[in-house]
Amino acid sequence: MSGLRWSGPPPPSRSPPPTTSCSGTPSAPTSTSSGAVREAAERTMRTLPQWRLRWRLDGVRPENHTEDGRGLARNPFHFTEGYGNPATPADVTERAVITTDQEEPAWAVGGSYQVIRIIRLATGFWDRDTIHEQERIVGRRRDGRWLDGTPSTEQPVFATDPHGKTTPLDAHVRRAAPDRRHPSPLVRRGYNYRHGPDDQGLIFSCFQRNLAQGFEAVQHRLQGEAMAKYTLTVGGGYFFVPPPGDGWLDALV
């Protein structure tokens, strides 16, 4: 498994983070497998002593692996996720990284807007459904294949199924991105968390260059999805991920 500890500037506890972030709040995703990332986060805290750790939450990525350039893992609902992400570094940059034409400060160029949501999942309720019912709620097979038989690495054409006989109109993937040939401009990565049988779920994280076109547009489309009764958002916030290097620190000190 791959592990993660989310740190952000209330003191560390098992409580979820606030549902909204403070203006200018950074987020530091600290992977247990990356000493360089941990070192960068610690250096930032030393450079800006007025900042303090506000919350932390541990997560894991079961069956974490890379397939066709995409990072995949199994979520608490037993589905492999990550197929919707871009497969190349160039495409990741295109979706997630702030550019010079966005009228942001020069030190922000190369950074990204991050959204974190702590989503408690009703896994016991979910597991009472048949696998067939679960797959119709998600809109994919557990292994990532599409319900119409399209391979996981290709994109289905939902327009050929206008009434949702194969992929229901309220399926999660269909609501999130109705036209799979033009995916939402964001990159997502989820981590599972578990604090007990009644408190487990997903640390949802996504990165984008534009919040309105990315996360917020997807959330608007997801209203009324079949999966909603199995999920409860209990925390999270909006954050800014600085660009590589220390230039942004010089601008804030």
Tens digit of pLDDT for each residue in 152-167?
888 889 999 999 999 9
Q: Is 37 helix (H, G, I), strand (E, B) or coil?
A: helix
d(CA 201, CA 76): 6
Please report the pLDDT score of residue 181 as a whole number: 83
Question: Residue 236 to residues 18, 55, 86, 116, 218: CA-CA distances in angstroms?
Answer: 6, 10, 24, 5, 16
pTM of the model: 0.83
- In contact, 123 and 77? CB cutoff 8 Å: yes
Given this model, what pLDDT does residue 180 score?
A: 83
Q: What is the DSSP string of 90-129?
A: HHHHHHH---GGG---GGGTT-EEEEEEEEEE-HHHHHTS
pLDDT number for residue 246: 76
Phi, psi dihedral angles at 106 (to 5 degrees): -60, -35
Q: Please report how many Cα atoms fall inside a 13 Å half-sphere around the Cα of residue 43, on the Cβ side.
A: 11
Of 34, 19, 208, residue with least CA distance to 42 = 34
Terminal C-alpha separation, the chain = 37
pLDDT (0 to 100) of residue 183: 87
Burial class (CB in 10 A: 0-12, 13-18, 19+), 123: middle
Q: In what order do the strands lie in the sheet with 80-81?
A: 65-67, 70-74, 80-81
Count Cα neighbours of 92 within 13 Å in the Cβ-side half-sphere.
14
pLDDT value for 165: 96
Q: In the chain, which stretches have pLDDT less than 70?
A: 1-37, 253
What pLDDT was estimated at residue 251?
A: 76
